[in-house]
Amino acid sequence: MGPIAGTRGCHCRLARDGKVVTYVEVIDRWRGDAEFVDAFVGLLTEAPFRAFYFETPPLSRRTLGRLFEFVLIDSPSLAGLSPEPGIFGEHFRSPGVEGGIAVFPNLGHDAVLVAPCPDNQRRDYAHLAAFVRNAPRELQHALWRHVGEAARGWLKDDKPVWISTSGDGVAWLHVRLDRFPKYYNHRPYQARNTE
């Protein structure tokens, strides 16, 4: 995890056995490698911000072999938000919910959102930092498994996909898979270059 010049953020890469892992490895490991997911969540937990945006560069079938990277951008505005799980309530009650995670299209049906369902203990999942610091391990694993499965599905065609979290509009964690870098803060990742 290293600083990003000119902003309050961290640039991150993941290593396994001393080697930086690729996008295809990360997506596959999100889907079923508990040790890897624990390490990934641990890295997010250690971010020096109370709340942050998570953003990846665009990904496509042609770039699956690239080294995986992402940024965490400090977001003080998210840190003060009260959780709003009710906004996604209809999706949380859907029969498709699995392992406490709902996967559903956004309002415009041009993106897929992956969100944890609220629990009986009313934990704060307003944003990703709150989730990785408060959610039970099983729920964290379920979230990243569903993100990995959704990413695999989106990569069946060769259009780019951006994976991110924002939360400024809805104060409940939702990982966004989109064909455009909507709500992105890190300008270098907004480019459509997926060669």
Residues in the chain: 195
pTM above 0.85, yes or no: yes
Its sign, for the CA torsion 173, 175, 179, 185, is positive
Token representation of residue 90: 């209809």
Select from 117, 147, 155 the least CA-distant residue to 44: 147
For residue range 133-183, what is the model confidence (pLDDT) as tens digits? 999 999 999 999 999 999 999 998 888 999 999 988 899 999 999 999 999
Distance CA 176, CA 173 (A): 9
SS3 at position 123: coil
3 phi and psi, to 5 degrees? -70, 155
Contact 57, 163 (CB under 8 A): no
Token representation of residue 30: 């999100």
pLDDT score at 2? 62
pLDDT score at 4? 60
Q: Burial, 70: exposed, middle or buried (Cβ in 10 Å; 0-12, 13-18, 19+)? A: buried
